[in-house]
Structure 1
Amino acid sequence: MRWTFPSSVDSQTVSELAQTLNVEPLVAQLLVQRGITTFDDARKFFRPTLNDLHDPYLMKDMDKAVARIEQAITANENILVFGDYDVDGTTSVSLVSTYLRTHHPNVATYIPDRYKEGYGVSYQGIDYAHDNDCTLIIALDCGIKSLDHVDYAKKKGIDFIICDHHRPGDELPDAVAVLDPKRSDCEYPYDELCGCGVGFKLVQALGKNRGETIEDLLQYLDLVATAIAADIVPMTGENRILAKFGLDVINSNPRPGIKTLVQQSKKSRFDITDVVFIIAPRINAAGRIRHGHHAVDLLTESDLDLAETYASEIEKYNADRKTLDKRITLEALSQIEDNNETERSTTVVFQDDWHKGVIGIVASRLIETYYRPTLVFTKSEGKLAASARSVPGFDVYNALEACAEHLEQFGGHMYAAGLTLKEENYLMFKEAFEKVVSETLHPDLKTPEINIDAEIEFDDITPKFFRILKQFEPFGPQNMTPVFLTRDLFDTGFAKPIGEESKHLKLFVRQGDSGGIGAVGFGLGHKFPMVQNQKRFDAVYCIDENEWNGKVSQQLRVKDIKKTDDVG
């Protein structure tokens, strides 16, 4: 692990902000590191309000989208709400369809089959719309590159409204409206919304057109917060506002489908991390193992008893997903070693019977062992399909673009993408991808990095400091949980490896004469010898809470440890 500090911040700015806010310099430093330098910045950060959300009509084509939907409602047209099979897609479809049904009965939903149709707008979906006399398709979390599909639909008398957040190509589909804040000609003030966020802006615009207030739409924010957490979008601007109020809904009055998932966890209160690791994998499991429409059924169900039945089914899918992902990860690791590919700049593996629904998870697992851009391929519909994952700082989408001559199609983000190619092109692509990455991957990016926000002493961790730190939530990209370094620590004799295969490390840590504090290091069980017998060590960690048997206590979530004399 590389331990790095952020670029130094202006001490005068920190001092002035500390005075203005009447907080410790350490708190002011953390704020300045996040670009918060004034009282007004801090107010918006600590006290976000729904009034800070932008006018949805600032988004290019929003007026056209609303007009076409209102026309469909007035003319009693059938509307098909279409979305991807992942969390962002299924929450988007659930949100928009639920809202539309409060004003219009003729609304159907469609999630493509992950295995038969693949990602994005499908011809089968358009045919389904045509067969069911739908004259308007609202595509969510997909569609920005579906030029041919939109033309195909138009020939069948079907209009398209596209709500997407992925990068557009050089040409936009010929849809009635294309809502995407990443459009070069869109001047919407915030361009980091997830797909469900764009869907919410559409609903917000429809609501505004009908005289509804933002408070009338609060009930949909549990879905938006779930999508924001799952899609790993920046936790800034509108995303942070929507996530904060969405978490409030999840913890107070969530829809029955989410309520059942929350109750199964036995946790008293959910934060963004809980959404990422408890709610999102279960919603995703439906599309990975069976079909994404099971997730939409769960998220749109108004009867709690039925929702509990759906949640039990999804829990089984999630258990199956865990079994598959563990087996395939082991097979992929064996393949890397057997092929003597441990020293390459990339991981590219393929087996034709690997389950397509979990290859993205497997790619992330492989990065934990071989820290480098990773693609996991399987066979699908006569071609090879892959999920790509990257390491922080490296744009895997750009790398795929550089190898586009070998690909049938690809799409995604900087850190996650999907692609397909013909089997005969696999080896050529594998070498081309290796070449591109080896030439463009900075050497520093080959080692996992821990970004440290500040070096502190245990005496700095006061109840007041922790209360303020809690107000930095919700955490996410560009507002990550603060990471601290404290030096010259020792365990008081309680340290022990815990968990399956002794993978994790449990400690009770002190610094000098300070009071001790419990700590856990996930994945650090192998470092137990470094803390035995009160050996001195330095640690980087987040300050966390542990809930056990209904009791909440403060603890450190240790990210890494080094011998005291090993750290600069």
Structure 2
Amino acid sequence: MQKRWVKQEKADAKKVDKLSKELSVSPILAGMMLRRELNSFEDAKNFFRPNLLHLHDPFLMKDMPEAIERIERAIKNQENILIYGDYDVDGTTSVALTYCFFKEIHSKIDYYIPNRYKEGYGISTQGIDYAFENEQTLIIALDCGIKSIDKIAYANQKGIDFIICDHHLPGDEIPDAVAVLDPKRKDCNYPYKELSGCGLGFKLIQAYADKNDIPFSEVEKYLDLVVVSIASDIVPITGENRILAYYGLEKLNTNPCKGFVALKELSGKKDDFTITDIVFSIGPRINAAGRIDDAKNAVKLLIADSVEGAEDAGFIINLKNDERRDFDANITEQALSMILNSPEMEFRKSTVVYHESWHKGVIGIVASRLTEKYYRPTIVLTESNGYVAGSARSVLGYDLYEALCGCSDLLDQFGGHKYAAGLTMKTENVPAFIQRFEEVVCATITDDLLTQELLIEDEILLENIDAKFFRILQQFSPFGPQNMSPIFMSRNVSSYGYGTIVGNNHLKMTVRQPDSPIFNTIAFGMGEYLEEVNMGKPFDICYTIDQNIYKDKKTIQLNIKGIKTY
């Protein structure tokens, strides 16, 4: 698929020159810094040398004093406490962090993860009933609860107090809980708004530790859980999240909890984890527990206090991940076949596919794969509990939620945001919905939005890439939303020797410009360019600059994202 190359705006030349001289870096790197709003030596120092001392005071968050007072009272009065969280990575890491911290202080503590299929997302009546039956008088809910008005009212009737720690956007009404911690509340003046659910749990235990003179070392030891949540929940890696992610990666790669040790062994990874590794290796394994079976298995892994316990839990989760992969591969293959065998579907501006037997736990993953393949708004539907349930994914710049609003009369329920949503409808409404959704998308999407964008950091010469350049480039990490790994562009390059196809249609070649060094490259899934690059004519490339490790030897490798031939 041809992609649209879009160059970022050039930074102001005078500012580039000034910062370049001040920091003794190349103008290319100075421009990168300015585009990230690093305008001075002090800005650069705080960015490149994150400091845990720069974390915000947790008591700046609305309702934090009330939350800590209620937890202190529960511990003093020997109340039973329930830690409640969502079934995804952010939820299970949140529960593990909060449970482990308070377990060292208070023995009467339990955790609860709702069943994805029997209870659905968020706080459930069954979960509250579980707390009531077990005489648990305080529930700390993480990564959910901000819209659970009726469920909190139900808990209040049963004499159960709630502390809500959620990072999702609130509705017009705030639940009547003892404390509602959410930096996105309009009446919350907390300086950083983009914490993950587990990041919010971290602020809760940080506040408790501050108030009760517990050393910060007892808080920071859970940062490996926080970085896994930050990466998996795709929150911006800016501000406070950058500090948490930086030190979380350090913890994950030097002294992780036993559960992550087990997952690393199962994944076969030898070198350090990056944010990308978490997204594609750790996150899917933890998520598989809730997608295929029960997310409590993920919490068991993350709170394991023995090697044997972690290995046993890891083994189960890995089995579930293998099942998830099989479901994913089979359903994706079936969905692609449906599209290819229907000329009408292939050339639509939206994709909606439906089969009553598809596994509900993986349709979101399949929707993402189809969006990646055809780059258009996509919905995958299956049957669930007498209804048709769907998972929807969008493309950059297109408001999927608004499109679903245009189909609301055909839906029983829907919710989500601009780029991802869930929905349910009656089976008989499926054909009309497919047609309506296509009509709405056609009326509201532009051709530009249907072509994937490659946002180019800067145009550079290959000779600009040397050891110092790469060393400083690495210090921009951790990479992630709002600080993506930079994509560079170079013109008039040529293949040195002959390119070859390796693996699953990947193009491997060496490239150079006149008078430049030679660089090894890999272009994943771009084997169709082999003949053109081997003709000896120059072409343009855009790429990220990575490190390749082979037999303990480290070399710079260009990971090609796009090729334009003349």
| 1:87-140 deviation per Cα after TM superposition (whole angstroms, max 9, x unaligned) | 111111111111110111111111111111111111111111111111111111
Q: Which residue of structure 2 aligns with residue 557 of structure 1?
A: 559
How far apart are 1:342 and its partner, in Å? Answer: 2.3
How far apart are 1:401 and its partner, in Å? Answer: 4.4
Q: How does 1:211-222 map to 2 (within 5 A)?
A: 211-222=213-224
Q: Is 1:95 the counterpart of 2:97 in the alignment?
A: yes
Q: Which residue of structure 2 aligns with residue 113 of structure 1?
A: 115
Q: How does 1:62-77 map to 2 (within 5 A)?
A: 62-77=64-79
Whether the 8 Å CA contact 2:498–2:534 is kept in 1: the answer is no
**CA spacing shift, 1:471–1:351, aligned 2, 3 Å:** same
CA distance in 2, matches of 1:163, 1:79: 15
How far apart are 1:494 and its partner, in Å? Answer: 4.1
**CA spacing shift, 1:559–1:61, aligned 2, 3 Å:** same
1:311 to 294, 311, 314: 314
CA distance in 2, matches of 1:494, 1:250: 40
Q: Which residue of structure 1 aligns with residue 485 of structure 2?
A: 481
Q: Which residue of structure 1 aligns with residue 164 of structure 2?
A: 162
RMSD: 1.7
Q: Is 1:464 the counterpart of 2:465 in the alignment?
A: no
Whether the 8 Å CA contact 1:50–1:214 is kept in 2: the answer is no
How far apart are 1:538 and its partner, in Å? Answer: 1.0
Whether the 8 Å CA contact 1:393–1:445 is kept in 2: the answer is yes
Paired residue type of 1:105 = S
**CA spacing shift, 1:405–1:188, aligned 2, 3 Å:** farther
**CA spacing shift, 1:407–1:198, aligned 2, 3 Å:** farther
Q: Which runs of 5+ in 1 are unaligned?
A: none
**CA spacing shift, 1:74–1:139, aligned 2, 3 Å:** same
1:453 to 436, 452, 457: 457
CA distance in 2, matches of 1:134, 1:426: 43
How far apart are 1:162 and its partner, in Å? Answer: 1.2
Paired residue type of 1:490 = S
How far apart are 1:411 and its partner, in Å? Answer: 3.4
Q: Which residue of structure 2 aligns with residue 419 of structure 1?
A: 423
Q: Which stretch has the larger CA shift, 126-135 or 332-341?
A: 332-341
Q: Which residue of structure 2 aligns with residue 34 of structure 1?
A: 36
CA distance in 2, matches of 1:440, 1:38: 42
Q: Which residue of structure 2 aligns with residue 299 of structure 1?
A: 302
CA distance in 1, matches of 2:130, 2:435: 40
How far apart are 1:250 and its partner, in Å? Answer: 0.5
Whether the 8 Å CA contact 2:403–2:437 is kept in 1: the answer is yes
| 1:216-260 deviation per Cα after TM superposition (whole angstroms, max 9, x unaligned) | 311110000001101111110111110000000001100000112
Q: Does the residue aligned with 2:345 lie in a helix, a strand or coil?
A: coil
Q: Which residue of structure 2 aligns with residue 233 of structure 1?
A: 235
Q: Is 1:328 the counterpart of 2:319 in the alignment?
A: no
Paired residue type of 1:187 = N
CA distance in 2, matches of 1:438, 1:184: 35
1:13 to 15, 30, 50: 15
1:354 to 338, 352, 358: 358
**CA spacing shift, 1:243–1:349, aligned 2, 3 Å:** same
Paired residue type of 1:287 = G
Q: Which residue of structure 2 aligns with residue 539 of structure 1?
A: 541
Q: Does the residue aligned with 1:341 lie in a helix, a strand or coil?
A: helix
Q: Does the residue aligned with 2:549 lie in a helix, a strand or coil?
A: strand
Q: Which stretch has the larger CA shift, 203-212 or 85-94?
A: 203-212
CA distance in 1, matches of 2:184, 2:432: 32
CA distance in 2, matches of 1:50, 1:160: 29
1:495 to 483, 494, 499: 499
Q: Which stretch has the larger CA shift, 477-486 or 428-437?
A: 428-437
Q: Which residue of structure 1 aligns with residue 132 of structure 2?
A: 130
Q: Is 1:363 the counterpart of 2:364 in the alignment?
A: no
Whether the 8 Å CA contact 1:221–1:245 is kept in 2: the answer is yes
Q: Which runs of 5+ in 2 are unaligned?
A: none
**CA spacing shift, 1:394–1:486, aligned 2, 3 Å:** same
How far apart are 1:419 and its partner, in Å? Answer: 2.7
**CA spacing shift, 1:76–1:321, aligned 2, 3 Å:** same
**CA spacing shift, 1:282–1:333, aligned 2, 3 Å:** same
Q: How does 1:133-144 map to 2 (within 5 A)?
A: 133-144=135-146
Q: Which residue of structure 2 aligns with residue 548 of structure 1?
A: 550
Q: Is 1:387 the counterpart of 2:391 in the alignment?
A: yes
The number of aligned residues is 562
How far apart are 1:414 and its partner, in Å? Answer: 2.9
1:148 to 147, 150, 161: 150
- Normalised TM-score (structure 2): 0.96
Whether the 8 Å CA contact 2:10–2:31 is kept in 1: the answer is no
| 1:251-281 deviation per Cα after TM superposition (whole angstroms, max 9, x unaligned) | 1100000112223323221111111111111
| 1:472-506 deviation per Cα after TM superposition (whole angstroms, max 9, x unaligned) | 00001111101110111122224111113xx2111
CA distance in 1, matches of 2:14, 2:253: 40
Paired residue type of 2:83 = V
**CA spacing shift, 1:535–1:335, aligned 2, 3 Å:** same
Whether the 8 Å CA contact 1:166–1:413 is kept in 2: the answer is no
How far apart are 1:318 and its partner, in Å? Answer: 1.2
CA distance in 2, matches of 1:341, 1:444: 20
Paired residue type of 2:321 = N
CA distance in 2, matches of 1:209, 1:430: 55
Q: Which stretch has the larger CA shift, 455-464 or 336-345?
A: 336-345
Paired residue type of 1:451 = L
CA distance in 2, matches of 1:388, 1:277: 20
1:283 to 275, 283, 286: 286
How far apart are 1:428 and its partner, in Å? Answer: 4.4
Q: Does the residue aligned with 1:534 lie in a helix, a strand or coil?
A: coil
Q: Does the residue aligned with 2:92 lie in a helix, a strand or coil?
A: helix
Paired residue type of 2:282 = I
**CA spacing shift, 1:505–1:9, aligned 2, 3 Å:** same
2:190 to 170, 188, 200: 188
CA distance in 1, matches of 2:187, 2:445: 31
Q: Which residue of structure 1 aligns with residue 54 of structure 2?
A: 52
**CA spacing shift, 1:408–1:200, aligned 2, 3 Å:** farther
CA distance in 1, matches of 2:137, 2:204: 19
**CA spacing shift, 1:315–1:478, aligned 2, 3 Å:** same
**CA spacing shift, 1:436–1:189, aligned 2, 3 Å:** farther
**CA spacing shift, 1:229–1:377, aligned 2, 3 Å:** same
Whether the 8 Å CA contact 2:522–2:557 is kept in 1: the answer is yes
Whether the 8 Å CA contact 2:547–2:556 is kept in 1: the answer is yes
1:341 to 335, 339, 345: 345
How far apart are 1:432 and its partner, in Å? Answer: 4.1
Q: Does the residue aligned with 2:50 lie in a helix, a strand or coil?
A: coil
How far apart are 1:213 and its partner, in Å? Answer: 4.1
Whether the 8 Å CA contact 1:77–1:106 is kept in 2: the answer is yes
Paired residue type of 2:103 = R
CA distance in 1, matches of 2:283, 2:362: 14
CA distance in 2, matches of 1:88, 1:260: 19
Identity percentage over the alignment? 53
Paired residue type of 1:480 = M
Whether the 8 Å CA contact 1:493–1:533 is kept in 2: the answer is no
Q: Does the residue aligned with 2:353 lie in a helix, a strand or coil?
A: strand
CA distance in 1, matches of 2:512, 2:496: 7
How far apart are 1:177 and its partner, in Å? Answer: 1.3
